[in-house]
Amino acid sequence: MSLLLIDLGNSRIKWAYGDHPWASVGYSFTADVAQLLQQLLTLPRPDAIHGCTVGQPAAALLLEQFCQQQWGHSIQWLKVSRNALGIHNTYRHLEQQGPDRWAAVLGARSLFPERALVIASAGTALTVDALTEENEYLGGMILPGLRLMKSALAQQTARLTLSEGAFHDFPRCTTDAIETGCISAMAGSIIAMQTRLTRRGDTPLCIISGGDAALIAPHLPNQPIIAEQLVLHGLAALAQDIYQ
Ligand SMILES: Nc1ncnc2c1ncn2[C@@H]1O[C@H](COP(=O)(O)OP(=O)(O)OP(=O)(O)O)[C@@H](O)[C@H]1O
Ligand SMILES: CC(C)(CO)[C@@H](O)C(=O)NCCC(=O)O
């Protein structure tokens, strides 16, 4: 069965086409939906389309219209649920939770069974979510992503500008101080979640994905695993459950 899976984030739209393993994958920036549509035009007609969106509704609408016109399919957008694939979601108000977080949890579990997991998605925002070995999703944290942290400093201070620095244990210039501070804050929040799960008696594995995963991973203990496209893997696992 050929599926088209779409992850509409705040910075990028990622997609995968085919059965598992995917025949093709791609992405475009959310601001450039036209580029995405060019990519999708090259694909054969999928049997079904599953999507997850936390991005601009206008981008989702454009995609909807394209899929209808091109293939006569509507997109089945993921809704956060209380239970899926054996995982219990304890988020207080399900309608509040970003479906990308729920999809990433489901995707991480499909790739890494039978372990407590810390699932960090380092995209536009950084989210750090906790899943127990017994498949209870406990909740998680939301922080600004690296780019957002840096732009907030540049916008709200007189002397800091948007810049590229390098990580140093003891930074001795402004650009390095900013880079090191932001990356340490991101890594620190992931370590904090690992510590909380460990205190509960779990031995969590840390899975990290998103545009900034490779920058943060070296600053985490216990060999974190960088996993690409957790959201798409979550959509694939749910689709497999539906169509099997
Ligand atoms: N041209 C770019 N535009 C935006 N972010 C970029 C760019 N190049 C690198 N990045 C980095 O990638 C991060 C965004 O990651 P990613 O592409 O995974 O976002 P996203 O998947 O759209 O995010 P989300 O799913 O949270 O909306 C930013 O914090 C930034 O540091
Ligand atoms: C936190 C983001 C922006 C991460 O992409 C997204 O999951 C979202 O918009 N969430 C809504 C708020 C929540 O998850 O509680």
Segment 179-228, tens digit of pLDDT: 999 999 999 999 999 999 999 999 999 999 999 999 999 999 999 999 99
User: What pLDDT was estimated at residue 182?
Assistant: 98
**72 lies in the same domain as 119:** no
Q: Is residue 157 part of a domain?
A: yes
Segment 85-126, tens digit of pLDDT: 999 999 999 999 999 999 999 999 999 999 999 999 999 999
Chosen domain end from 15, 49, 77: 77
Burial class for 122, CB neighbours closer than 10 Å (0-12, 13-18, 19+) = buried
- What mean pLDDT comes out for the span 61-69? 97
Q: Is residue 13 part of a domain?
A: yes
Grade residue 130 by pLDDT with cuts at 50, 70 and 90.
very high
**177 lies in the same domain as 224:** yes
Can you tell me the distance from the alpha carbon of 177 to that of 67, in angstroms, rounded to the nearest whole number?
Answer: 46
Chosen domain end from 23, 54, 77: 77
Structure tokens at 76: 């089945």
**137 lies in the same domain as 214:** yes
Give the number of the ligand closest to the Cα of residue 146.
1
Say how many domains are in the chain: 2
Q: What CATH number is given to the structural domain containing 28?
A: 3.30.420.40
Q: Is residue 35 part of a domain?
A: yes
Domain span at residue 47 reads 3-77
Q: What is the chain's mean pLDDT, rounded?
A: 97
Can you tell me the distance from the alpha carbon of 118 to that of 204, in angstroms, rounded to the nearest whole number?
Answer: 6
ipTM confidence: 0.91
Chosen domain end from 62, 77, 92: 77
CA 134 to ligand 1 centroid distance, Å: 32
Per-residue three-class SS string for 169-207: CCCCCHHHHHHHHHHHHHHHHHHHHHHHHHHCCCCCEEE
Q: Is residue 102 part of a domain?
A: no
Q: Is residue 86 part of a domain?
A: no
Segment 98-109, tens digit of pLDDT: 999 999 999 999
CA 58 to ligand 1 centroid distance, Å: 19
User: What pLDDT was estimated at residue 71?
Assistant: 98
Q: Which of 11, 53, 101, 147 has most ligand 2 atoms within 8 Å of its beta carbon, as the pocket-test mutant? A: 101
Catalytic residue list contains 169: no
Q: Is residue 90 part of a domain?
A: no
Q: Is residue 236 part of a domain?
A: no
**211 lies in the same domain as 148:** yes
Q: Which of 8, 124, 151 has most ligand 1 atoms within 8 Å of its beta carbon, as the pocket-test mutant? A: 124
Structure tokens at 206: 């840390």
Q: What is the DSSP annotation of 71-113?
A: HS---EE----SEETTEEE--S-GGGS-HHHHHHHHHHHHHST
145 touches ligand 1 (CB under 6 Å): yes
**134 lies in the same domain as 212:** yes
